[in-house]
Structure 1
């Protein structure tokens, strides 16, 4: 049974703050990692590169919400040989990211990944 308080939706360019917050969660997912302040880490060059020009052609995101508040996101972006991140395979294969707040991780990532991979639009 699906909890009616948990929903997913397609992301938009206006969801950049959500993507940034969940990218931070993805970087520091383990409770054993020392977490810097979010605003401090936002200045890291790799973080900046990963979110630069969010919403460009080929970007796709799915946002998970609990009671209309974002708690997770999954996204992908296509990169070039000249500019890419850690998971680069080739220009035809997107890099995928998933970040979920710690209290919502039980199954949320799987739901987000399935929705991200779906070719169908939904609400």
Structure 2
């Protein structure tokens, strides 16, 4: 039997966060995939580089089976400011959320569990809202809407969404 555990990110997860950053880059079926080293460009590397700074938090979903652990996905929340704004930036008090699930684990509730953990932690930290950026054609947008994320704008070709924490 496989159990899925959602736990806080620690330093051993940083290489996986880089993998998930790449996995989070949405491409349509007819498009060529991005080169892997695109994640080291300044516009993207800011989401993982130096992970563990003050204010950073997030979770990893891990499947355990027969004593073996396998990471299934991650969710990160990181604060930015106007000078290093991310694609889903709304203000310096609102962390930007990034999430990715490995392909074979999508559609199995992993994203739901990660978002639940992230929003609960944000609430405990007294954070008023969380933002994200998503391609309007990405199916994940439906999941985000289920959690109360609403569209507040566009950045390039991505929708910026915000969830007010209750």
- Which range, TM-score by smaller chain? 0.7 to 0.9
Counterpart contact for 2:75–2:118, Cα < 8 Å: yes
CA-to-aligned-CA distance 1:72-105 (integer Å, 9 cap, x gap): 0011000112111110011100000010011111
TM-score normalised to structure 2 length: 0.63
Question: Compared with structure 1, are the counterparts of its residues 12 and 82 closer, same or farther at alpha carbon in structure 2 (3 Å cutoff)?
Answer: same
- Structure 1: gaps of 5 or more residues: none
Aligned counterpart, 1:43: 40
- Structure 2: gaps of 5 or more residues: 125-166
C-alpha distance in 1 between matches for 2:51 and 2:115: 19
C-alpha distance in 1 between matches for 2:47 and 2:28: 20
Q: How does 1:1-123 map to 2 (within 5 A)?
A: 4-28=2-26, 31-38=29-36, 40-67=37-64, 68-106=69-107, 107-119=109-121
How far apart are 1:37 and its partner, in Å? 4.7
Counterpart contact for 1:28–1:34, Cα < 8 Å: no
C-alpha distance in 1 between matches for 2:9 and 2:113: 15
RMSD: 2.0
Higher relative CO (CA 8 A, sep ≥ 6), structure 1 or 2?
A: 1
C-alpha distance in 1 between matches for 2:54 and 2:27: 28
Larger Rg: 2
Q: Which has the higher strand share?
A: 2
Counterpart contact for 1:29–1:102, Cα < 8 Å: no
